[in-house]
Amino acid sequence: MSANVLYWIATAPVGAASVLAEELALFGATDLRERSNDVKFQGTLETGYRACLWSRTATRVLLSLGSLEATSTEKLFAAIGRIDWREHLATGATLACDCSGGNESIRHTLYGAQLLKDAVCDNLRASTGARPNIRPERPDVLLHLHVEGSEAFLSVDFSGESLHRRGYRQESGAAPLKENVAAAILLRSGWATLCKEEAILLDPMCGSGTFLTEGALIAADAAPGLGREYFGFRGWHGHDASLWEQLCAEARLRRAARLPRRCILGSDIDAQAVHMSLENAAQAGVADWVHVERRSIADVTRPDAPRGLLVCNPPYGERIGAESSLPALYSELGLAMRERFEGWQAAILTGNPPLARHLGVYAKRSHRFMNGTIECRLLRFELNADSVQRPAEVVRADWAQRPGAQMFGNRLRKNLRLLDTWALRAGVDCFRLYDADMPEYAFAIDAYGREPRHVYVQEYAAPKSVQEEGARERRREVFAVLPEVLGVPATHIHSRTRQAQKGSSQYEKHADNAADAQRYVVSEGGLKFWVNFRDYLDTGLFLDHRLVREMLRGWAVGADFLNLFCYTGSATVFAAAGGAQSSASVDLSNTYLEWTEQNLMLNGLDGAQHRLHRADCLEWLEQASTEGARFDLIFLDPPTFSNSKRMQGVLDVQRDHVGMLRRSMALLRPGGRLVFSTNFTRFKLDNAALAEFAVEDITARTIARDFERNARIHQCYVVRHAADGGGATAGP
């Protein structure tokens, strides 16, 4: 390998990594390895510069300095100190350090950044006699440390700050679309090719004009980084200023070679949005490419062009107020797409995917995108007669007649006959009706309530070996059968795609604001709970923990109860109803603490003795231990994995369960019980490391009849102090 080949990492929004990889290949990158939100690659210094200057989709470009051992802070500090930092920081250069991730040794990102800074400064003071000056904002050199397990990955941040900041945005609306997300959507939708074929780009709800400006920059062959004032490599000691200026000069020549063409059209009903769009286009130097008017969707007309791309990001509710207006807005947009733009392509980014059914057009492709913290779907359409949707009842009838659908329907009827009778006799209102009983129909189907009954459908993500069209056909069959067999209207059937979750996404909100919530009250064990079928991956009530909650109620009489990672507080409600004299519920999310409070109020259990704490549970445990807090009953049900931005460090239940249990047991009074549960299917309890405690596996006793087909839905243990002996499942 040539000596001038370097190792790089370019990050991107979720959904944009494959587009980024295509860009990087054009810049000369080799050995590209794409992941969900970044691409690792090899390339020369010029490749890295081109990525900073030309990438429309990258968030950051990092020059990798390699991986370091991070099994302890001492080893990591020493490894950083062995790097010759004179190669990266010239005398007098300013420095900033940041950190992400974490492990048992580095639980706080601030601590990781401080360790990195101290190691670099000590190294330079020893080698040059001077420490660099620290400048948090726009330093000459920004170093990044990512800690993951036993390794730490060190890099120089060439971008310096997020590359989505092009420098042209003067004003923006309430929920602005990030520039690199907009560019990735346009590139994914084929605009780079269409713009060379005399096609038109039209955004009928343009907002601040991000699609318009990014579309014009693509059409004008304008480097998005050319107008940026700051990059992280300018003060880096290895910076080749002449090479960078050569690349910028080349970019200016390419930009000048494209003559303006008014092929970028936008409109919005809001006059201020029209003004913002024009201002941003002018600031980006593409005003000659863009035309924007004030118009409603009903007044949008088709330009005089046989081909084009209609693109928009319909509002999530901020500008039009009530959610009740959104279906009509989507219907109006769909009518325009069907009646005025035949032969065109369309790309609709929505933060509220269920509303897309009001478009009345079949999408040919769907892609997941993250716009900041908002999960969105990019729906791509070929607008022609075949794409117009038929009435839903006609479509369902057709799909329900297919042989596979009929077999699925027969299995569902059998399950309903057996489980509904059992549930009614047992007083269970919410239960699992179907759990991938037929492997080719990989769905989990839960029934909530009776009058009215709602159905929550989770589709397990298909393996890569399953063709997308085949999975889509089975999905249509399932949703055609459900209303008929279960006797519920289609509006009472709610769905999510279930897949392995990373970070805090397993609990995070999927809709854009609280006004979009669909909440209902359901019953369990004579208690009431709020559930939400649309805005989160889970509904707010883990049905597989039904028997665990009943056990907690029985053990809570007169107890001080602690609920860690409390989620929506259903365990707290059961403990309070069982006679707990006090409870403490701890979670990092304000949303879930408010939900817990509402569940307590719903059952008349919202007394002052039931306290809510917003905190990182691991930090709270340490603080509570120093303050002498003690409990008789503790419920510990951590997420499998979490790297929430609000949480310091990274939590991994397999790696960290011993430490969590020991910290929790420090708060457990003699004679008390700690109930530990996890949904990690490959979890293995480290019995040897927990030998000082009495641990009993009670999993088999906590799997209810409706979950017998999936006995590894969770694992559950009762942990007691060894001095208390066995009998963990005995009564209080």
The domain made up of 6-157 is a member of CATH 3.30.499.10: no
Question: Cα separation of 673 and 633, whole Å?
Answer: 5
User: Rounded to a whole number, what is the distance in angstroms from the first to the last CA of the chain?
Assistant: 69
pLDDT-derived band at 241, boundaries 50, 70, 90: very high
pLDDT-derived band at 102, boundaries 50, 70, 90: confident
Tell whether the model's pLDDT for residue 529 goes beyond 70.
Answer: yes
The DSSP code for 645 is T
What's the pTM value of the predicted model, to 2 decimals? 0.63
Q: Does 530-724 match 6-157 at the fold level?
A: no
Q: Which residue has the tokens 């080749």?
A: 240
Lowest-confidence region among 291-295, 464-468, 664-668: 464-468
Question: Cα separation of 618 and 647, whole Å?
Answer: 10
pLDDT digit string, tens, across residues 585-602: 999 999 999 999 999 999
pLDDT digit string, tens, across residues 604-643: 999 999 999 999 998 999 999 999 999 999 999 999 877 5
Provide the residue ranges of all domains of the chain, joining segments of one domain with +.
Answer: 6-157, 179-222+258-387, 392-500, 530-724
Taking CA 337 as the corner, what is the angle to CA 332 and CA 342, rounded to the nearest 5 degrees? 155
Residue 403 confidence (pLDDT) = 87
Lowest-confidence region among 175-184, 430-439, 641-650, 705-714: 641-650
**CATH class of segment(s) 179-222+258-387:** alpha beta
Are the C-beta atoms of residues 679 and 640 closer than 8 Å to each other? Answer: yes
pLDDT digit string, tens, across residues 107-152: 889 999 999 999 999 999 999 999 999 999 999 999 999 998 899 9
pLDDT digit string, tens, across residues 276-290: 999 999 999 999 999
Bond before 327 cis per omega within 30 degrees? no
Residue 476's closest CA among 536, 394, 532? 394
Residue 166 confidence (pLDDT) = 92
> Could you tell me which CATH number the domain at 530-724 has?
3.40.50.150
686-724 in b/e burial notation, b at 16+ Cβ within 10 A?
A: eeeebeebbbbebbeebbbebbeeeeebbbbbbbbbeeb
pLDDT digit string, tens, across residues 188-204: 999 999 999 999 999 99
pLDDT-derived band at 507, boundaries 50, 70, 90: very low
Tell whether the model's pLDDT for residue 732 goes beyond 50.
Answer: no
Share of the chain above pLDDT 90, in %: 72
Tell whether the model's pLDDT for residue 511 goes beyond 80.
Answer: no
State the chain's mean pLDDT as an integer: 89
Question: Cα separation of 3 and 517, whole Å?
Answer: 56
Strand order in the sheet with 454-460: 430-435, 443-448, 454-460, 493-498
Tell whether the model's pLDDT for residue 525 goes beyond 50.
Answer: yes
pLDDT-derived band at 514, boundaries 50, 70, 90: very low
Residue 509 confidence (pLDDT) = 46
Residues 6+ apart with CB under 8 A from 214: 56, 179, 182, 183, 186, 224
pLDDT-derived band at 344, boundaries 50, 70, 90: very high
Question: Cα separation of 270 and 572, whole Å?
Answer: 47
Phi, psi torsion values for 721, nearest 5 degrees: -65, 140
| CATH superfamily label, 392-500 | RNA methyltransferase domain (HRMD) like (3.30.750.80)
The length of the chain in residues reads 732
Question: Cα separation of 85 and 98, whole Å?
Answer: 16
Residue 510 confidence (pLDDT) = 40
pLDDT-derived band at 465, boundaries 50, 70, 90: low
Taking CA 217 as the corner, what is the angle to CA 212 and CA 222, rounded to the nearest 5 degrees? 170
Decide: residue 545, CB within 10 A, 0-12 exposed, 13-18 middle, 19+ buried: buried
Residue 173 confidence (pLDDT) = 54
